[in-house]
Amino acid sequence: MKIALIDDHPIIIEGYKSILISKKIESDENIAVLCSLAEAYTFIKENAENQVVIDLFVIDYNMPENIENNLYNGEDLAHQIRLFLPNAKIVLLTSIATPILLFEIIQRLQPEGLWLKSDIGMLSFLNHTTSVLSGTTVYSESVNKAYRNVAKYTSILDETNRKILLLLNDGIKTKNLPDYLNLSIDTINHRKSDLKTLLGLDKSDDFELLKKAKMLGLL
C-alpha cells in the first residue's frame, strides 16, 4: 500500500506521516511527502506512466497555485488524480469552513474524505484515514453539517446561484461577475433579484443578501 501526503507546511505533513508510521498504518518507504502542487502533479503523472498504484492521497486544499499546470488549489490537483490514477482514494483537508464551498467540493469531486482542519486532531486523523483505506467515505462533523444545510436550499440555490453567492462573498463586484460566469450582466442581475425575493429580501443590496445567506448557514 502506498500513501501520498500533500501539504505546503512540512511540519504538519511530517506529523501526519509520523502517526501513520507509529500506528503501523504504513511504513516510511511507502509514504510520499510532497510539498507543492507542481511536485505533486509530477508525482501523479510519473506514477501513472509507470503504472504504480497509489492507494491514498491526503491533500491540503489551501496550497499556493501552480499556474503552469492550471492548479489553483488542492481540489484542482485532486481532479488530475481522478484523471490519471482513477482508483486512488482522495482526502481533502481544508481550513475554509464556507458551507457552500464544502458542498460544491463534494458535488464536483465526490472525495472519499473531506475534513475541516478544526475538526481533526491526530487521533481522529488516524481513525478517519483507517476508515477511508477500508473503503468508507468519511466527512468530518462540520462538513456533514454544512452539506446537509446547503442541501435544504438546493431548490432555490442551483449551481449558478451558489457560484454567485460565493463570488460575492469573495469580494467580487457584480459588474465583474461576467468575468467568472458564462452569463451576461443582465442575467446575473435577474438571478440576484430572484434570489433576494426567494430569501425574503425585496429591495435589498448585496450586503443584505450575504448577511441573510450567512444567517441561514450558507456562507
Segment 46-103, tens digit of pLDDT: 999 999 999 999 999 999 999 999 999 999 999 999 999 999 999 999 999 999 999 9
Position 70: which residue type?
N
Rg, C-alpha atoms of the chain: 19
Dihedral sign of CA atoms 152, 156, 158, 160 in order:
negative
What is the model's pLDDT at position 62?
A: 94
What is the model's pLDDT at position 117?
A: 94
- Is the distance from CB of 106 to CB of 61 less than 8 angstroms? no
What is the model's pLDDT at position 88?
A: 97
Q: Is the pTM of this model over 0.95?
A: no
What is the model's pLDDT at position 30?
A: 87
What is the model's pLDDT at position 112?
A: 98
How does 98-124 read in b/e, with b if 16+ C-beta sit within 10 Å? bbbbbbbbbeebebbbbbbbebbeeee
Ranges in the chain, pLDDT < 50: none
What is the model's pLDDT at position 206?
A: 86
Q: Integer distance in angstroms from the first to the last C-alpha of the chain?
A: 38
What is the rounded distance in angstroms from the CA atom of residue 95 to the CA atom of residue 78? 17
Residue 177 has what DSSP assignment?
G
